[in-house]
Copies of this chain bind each other. A is one copy, B any other.
Amino acid sequence: MITELISVGTEILLGNIVNTNSAYLSEKCAQLGLSVYYQTVVGDNEERMKETIRTALGRSDIVILTGGLGPTEDDLTKEVTAQVMGMPLVEDPHSKELLEAYMQQYKDNHSQRRITANNYKQALVPQGALVLDNHNGTAPGLIMEKNGKIAILLPGPPIEMKPMFEEEVFPYLRKKQPEIIYSQMVKICGIGESQVAEEIQDLIEKQENPTIAPYAKTGEVHLRITAKGENEKECRKMIKPVVRELKERFGKNIFATDEKKTLEEAVVDMLKDQGLTLSLAESCTGGAIASRIVSVPGASEVFTHGFVTYSNRAKRKCLGVKKSTLKVFGAVSEKCAKEMAKGGCFAAKTDICLSVTGLAGPDGGTEETPVGTVFMGCCYNDKVITHEFHFTGNRAKIREQAAAHALAMLRECMMEGIVKKS
């Protein structure tokens, strides 16, 4: 089925935000076997929005709109789509109830926040539409079907849009598809994008069904293998030898073959499996690794302490880094990373401590230690393994890469049995 994406929001047209929703939805549509022919961005303007939605519904079977569902005057997506599809707006008792509960709860905590008349417009829905509850905000999503055309309206913030898509829209769309599309993800860390691309070039060149599509993430490469077939079993059978081949080529660099599994989940799972506890000693990443670990529900079973030792004094007091190390080698040095990891294990009494110290910039670089230099240490059983990295990009990009590679390093240490519960 032909699918089209429309993002609504003047902030995208002004370049205030990057349109990541379209990339996310395109990937999901590809996974569902839906052909996306167009992505459009239109502002919060009634006439242009109407024209865009009319054109999209004319040439596509499914139109997925994101944004413009909020409570403000500017938010017109629901109103305009309902008008184009000829579906009048009516009050939805269930949505109203949920909205009131949400607002009441919010009011209890933020005495200054009032329930405004504007909010109530969010309880209006096009007659006959399927309402999708929003567990992360007030604007419900909507699925509208009429004359063989489908319009799906989702909130703009990715944190609200993604769970709604995954929980409600994905299964709905899967049922609409006559052919079965089945895909499996193979997630790789510790190898660069171009090396992965080179190593699978022969597979990609001869591919037909199933297909392999690479997606690069910071510090990770995801390969999606997609098969089309009569049923899931047939698809799985087609995918199996490809996954086997990839496992042969990338071996232990594969950290997940599960769509949803993140690198931090893989790390937490390994820690649990091996009965190990973890602490972190972070400098330039400043808590970013701890935050990724804590994003995993149940991380508390294995993760106990994070030390964000941003000052030299903190490195000395919390982790016992020697004054002479900081003086002679500096905070961004292999020796400092080593002492941080050792000191973290000792202070937190954990089996493992991973340390990161580096220079994220933009200032402070020298010829010897340029911006992007990052040292990591992994301590286990009083032994420390260290790695040196040189990342490129701005401060945010360097910190993001450092956090991703730290998780990959932690995993590698556990894989290789360097760190192993005796």
| Interface of A toward B, CB cutoff 8 Å | 10-20, 22-30, 36-45, 48, 52, 55, 70-74, 102, 105-106, 108-110, 112-114, 116-119, 135-137, 157, 159, 163, 183, 190-195, 197-198, 201, 204-205, 213-216, 218, 224, 280, 282, 284-291, 293-295, 297-300, 303-311, 313-314, 317-318, 347-348, 361-363, 388-390, 392-397, 399-400
Complex CA distance for A118 and B378, rounded to whole angstroms: 34
Report A293 CB to chain B, min CB distance, Å: 7
B311 touching A300, Cβ below 8 Å: yes
A45 touching B36, Cβ below 8 Å: no
5 contacts between A and B (CB under 8 A): A12-B23, A15-B23, A19-B19, A70-B216, A294-B308
Q: Which residues of B contact A285 (CB under 8 A)?
A: 291, 294
A194 touching B118, Cβ below 8 Å: yes
B218 touching A159, Cβ below 8 Å: yes
A308 touching B295, Cβ below 8 Å: no
Complex CA distance for A299 and B285, rounded to whole angstroms: 12
A18 touching B18, Cβ below 8 Å: yes
Complex CA distance for A102 and B194, rounded to whole angstroms: 13
Partner of A361, one of B137, B297, B394: B297
Nearest-neighbor residue (CB-CB) of A298 within chain B: B363
Lowest 7 A-B CB distances belong to which pairs?
Answer: A286-B294, A287-B287, A306-B308, A15-B27, A287-B290, A15-B26, A39-B41
Q: Which residues of B contact A157 (CB under 8 A)?
A: 216, 218
Tell me which of A14, A25, A224 has the highest count of chain B C-beta atoms within 10 A of its own C-beta: A14
A224 touching B16, Cβ below 8 Å: yes
Complex CA distance for A45 and B59, rounded to whole angstroms: 15
15 A-B pairs besides A37-B42, A287-B287, A291-B399 with CB distance below 8 A are A14-B30, A70-B193, A71-B193, A106-B392, A113-B192, A116-B194, A118-B197, A157-B216, A284-B294, A286-B293, A287-B289, A297-B361, A304-B310, A305-B309, A305-B318
Nearest-neighbor residue (CB-CB) of A24 within chain B: B15
Given A70-B193, A118-B197, A159-B218, answer yes or no on A26-B12 (Cβ-Cβ < 8 Å).
yes
Report A405 CB to chain B, min CB distance, Å: 9
B314 touching A304, Cβ below 8 Å: yes
A314 touching B348, Cβ below 8 Å: yes
Tell me which of A17, A194, A299 has the highest count of chain B C-beta atoms within 10 A of its own C-beta: A194
Partner of A25, one of B15, B114, B287: B15
Given A15-B25, A22-B19, A106-B192, answer yes or no on A136-B394 (Cβ-Cβ < 8 Å).
yes
